Amino acid sequence: MPADEASRDDAKRVIFFDTTLRDGEQSPRIHLNLREKVEIAHQLARLGVDVIEAGFPISSPGDLEGVQAVAREVEGPTIAALARANEKDIAVAWEGVRDATKPRIHTFIATSDIHMTHKLRMDRATVLAAATDAVRQACGLCPDVEFSCEDATRSDPAFVAEVIGSAIAQGAQTINIPDTVGYTMPTEFQRFLGDLYERCPSLEGVTLSVHCHNDLGLAVANSLAGIQVGARQVEVCVNGIGERAGNASLEEMAMILRTRAEDLGGLWSGIETTEITRASRMVSRLTGYDIQPNKAVVGRNAFAHEAGIHQHGMLANPLTYEIMDAQSVGLVQSELVLGKHSGRHALLQALVDMGYELDKAELNEVFTRFKALADRKGEISAMDLDALMGDEMRAVHENSLDLREIAFSGASGDEATARVVVQGADGAEHRGEGAGDGPVAALMGAIDAAVGSSGTLLEYAVSAVTAGPDALGEARVVCEINGRQFTGQGVSPDVLEASAIAYLRAVTASRNAADERMADSGV
Ligand code: KIV
Ligand code: ZN
């Protein structure tokens, strides 16, 4: 049961530091564009996270712009940017967050012998000096500074204590202890943290944070162990995404704190758990990372009771098999919000209620698509609208190639044949026909013939946005075009149409990338 709000003790509040947009975005093949980052950040704010780590600004100009956009547009949480412990990184991180109402610089350096020797090629004295200088510089720029010892759990605790003692003396208010390679175990981690408290008394005066990776499936267990011995910040990602096997999952930590509050000595968080499902789906859709069906809290089976004996128990009393209820995580299956007679005003109201902000031009664009969808599908649910909005964000508007017609003529033998009409950015229509050993291959051939592209399909996935036979389908492709990989996504009630849209977006992205390269080389 949730802790009684009136009896909540501030000293027991667990700060949620969300790093979906930084550690999560570092996962292979996740490339969020600026609008997608801002959209996720708005949802994280609705979810009630305390800190959003919006990126690692030195890593690319795009990352810096993403952090700046989040810092300028998203109100509520503290906005943090990551920086290695050097002058340039810290200066650029500050450029990223300086416009936020509550900015934070998060600087880090590795403290394990293996990292110092083989990665940094620095000895202990040099690492200590770099950490000290970095925190001093960051504190001179930003009122809120966090310092992390990368690979802390494989480091000599005496050295970690010395480094964090120095960071605290320079003004760091949060000290983060990462289990960077996901190696530690709960009781071992507790001993490690206890040891740090003993060796570094000034740690009592700042917020201790834990950042656990999931290589052995222990990220959440280790984070929980951390907050039970004094840590008051957990670093988490939606759906547990992140480097390699990921980070501690936000939704699992939040639901443990809510469900087991009484047994956790009053620890609590400010997470609005009813926003969890929407956050999870948004992150899954925009990153292209599916959620495993049996994933705790957000998997599609998490609240499904399949076996007859379980169903019988549930009917007699839900508590027989249910420790949390679907409403508490905001799971409202395909709730109907609009119909095909709904007008522009009703659509705008529904989108505003769902937390979207649109200008007039965007509303017009979405309304046209909504109408087309409602004519084909009839009832439009909140999840359909989320998919439509996500699709709008993914759309490549520059030089876009739009699908106008698609048709499949009779398959002969094992071969399928497709015809398409594609409209280019200049309004001209291009027709093409293609054949292949399946409808998707035929479609790609037809598009290539129409627009003169040549792509090889590397990955292809389709999924249903909602349940039921009239579900909206989402297609995702990864293609090699001119020696480089491009991704595309498309949403439509017809999965082949969604596939064609996805491929056209990948082709458009490849053309825009080629244009940018030519511009960069001054051609
Ligand atoms: O895993 C890690 O050590 C990190 C640090 C940069 C905090 O992500
Ligand atoms: Zn990490």
Mean pLDDT over all residues of the chain? 90
CB neighbour burial string for 297-314, b if at least 16 within 10 angstroms, e if fewer: bbeeebbebeeeeeeebe
Closest approach atom of ligand 1 to CA 213: 1
**Ligand 2 centre distance from Cα of residue 65 (Å):** 21
Q: Is the Cβ atom of 150 under 6 angstroms away from ligand 1?
A: yes
pTM score, two decimals? 0.81
Which is higher by pLDDT, 485 or 205?
205
Q: Is the Cβ atom of 251 under 6 angstroms away from ligand 1?
A: no
Per-residue confidence (pLDDT) for residue 523, from 0 to 100? 46
Packed helices 276-287 and 250-259: angle between N→C axes, nearest 10 degrees: 170
Mutate to test the pocket of ligand 1, among 25, 150, 179 (most ligand atoms within 8 A of CB): 150
Query: Domain residues of the chain, as ranges?
Result: 12-287, 336-394, 402-520
Per-residue confidence (pLDDT) for residue 306, from 0 to 100? 59
Share of the chain above pLDDT 90, in %: 62
Q: Is the Cβ atom of 23 under 6 angstroms away from ligand 1?
A: yes
Which residues 6+ apart lie within 8 Å of 510 measured at CB? 453, 455, 481, 482, 484, 486
Per-residue confidence (pLDDT) for residue 307, from 0 to 100? 62
Residue 469 has pLDDT above 80, yes or no: no
Mutate to test the pocket of ligand 1, among 106, 115, 180 (most ligand atoms within 8 A of CB): 180
- Other residues' Cβ atoms within 10 Å of the Cβ of residue 186: 17
Task: Identify the weakest region by mean pLDDT among 6-10, 230-234, 312-316, 471-475.
Answer: 312-316
Task: Identify the weakest region by mean pLDDT among 123-137, 275-289, 349-363.
Answer: 349-363
* Torsion angle defined by CA atoms of residues 179, 183, 186 and 192, in that order, rounded to the nearest 10 degrees: -60
Q: What is the pLDDT of residues 188-231, one digit of tens each?
A: 999 999 999 999 999 999 999 999 999 999 999 999 999 999 99
Which is higher by pLDDT, 518 or 406?
406
Per-residue confidence (pLDDT) for residue 522, from 0 to 100? 53
What's the rounded mean pLDDT across residues 239-263? 97
**Ligand 1 centre distance from Cα of residue 146 (Å):** 12
Per-residue confidence (pLDDT) for residue 1, from 0 to 100? 43
What's the rounded mean pLDDT across residues 278-293? 88
User: Which helix (H) or strand (E) is 344 found in, with range?
Assistant: helix 344-353
Closest approach atom of ligand 1 to CA 23: 8
Q: Is the Cβ atom of 211 under 6 angstroms away from ligand 1?
A: yes
What's the rounded mean pLDDT across residues 241-247? 96
Contact status, residue 329 vs residue 251, Cβ threshold 8 Å: yes
165-169, 283-287, 402-406: which is most confident: 165-169
Q: What is the pLDDT of residues 137-147, one digit of tens each?
A: 999 999 999 99
3-class DSSP assignment, residue 98: coil
Q: How far apart are CA 159 and CA 149, in angstroms?
A: 10
Q: What is the pLDDT of residues 412-467, one digit of tens each?
A: 667 889 999 999 988 999 999 999 988 999 999 999 999 999 999 998 988 877 66
Task: Identify the weakest region by mean pLDDT among 178-187, 376-385, 465-474.
Answer: 465-474
Which is higher by pLDDT, 349 or 65?
65
Residue 321 has pLDDT above 70, yes or no: yes
Burial class (CB in 10 A: 0-12, 13-18, 19+), 436: middle
Rg (CA), the chain: 25
Per-residue confidence (pLDDT) for residue 359, from 0 to 100? 85
Q: Is the Cβ atom of 419 under 6 angstroms away from ligand 1?
A: no
Q: What is the pLDDT of residues 154-165, one digit of tens each?
A: 999 999 999 999
389, two tokens: 């909005």
Nearest residue (by CA) to ligand 1, atom 2, is 180
Q: Enter the DSSP assignment of 323.
A: S
Q: How far apart are CA 194 and CA 359, in angstroms?
A: 52
Q: How far apart are CA 138 and CA 201, in angstroms?
A: 23
Q: Which ligand is nearest to the CA of 153?
A: 1
Identify the CATH assignment for 402-520 out of 3.30.70.260, 3.40.630.40, 3.40.50.300, 3.30.160.270: 3.30.160.270
272, two tokens: 């609005």
Q: How far apart are CA 187 and CA 196, in angstroms?
A: 14
Q: Is the Cβ atom of 25 under 6 angstroms away from ligand 1?
A: no
Q: Looking at the domain 12-287, which fold is it?
A: TIM Barrel (3.20.20)
Residue 47 has pLDDT above 50, yes or no: yes
Q: In what order do the strands lie in the sheet with 455-464?
A: 455-464, 473-481, 484-492
Residue 11 has pLDDT above 80, yes or no: yes
Task: Identify the weakest region by mean pLDDT among 124-133, 328-337, 444-453, 508-517.
Answer: 328-337
Q: Is the Cβ atom of 242 under 6 angstroms away from ligand 1?
A: no
- Determine the distance from the C-alpha atom of residue 109 to the mean position of all C-alpha atoms in its chain, rounded to a whole number: 24
Per-residue confidence (pLDDT) for residue 334, from 0 to 100? 46
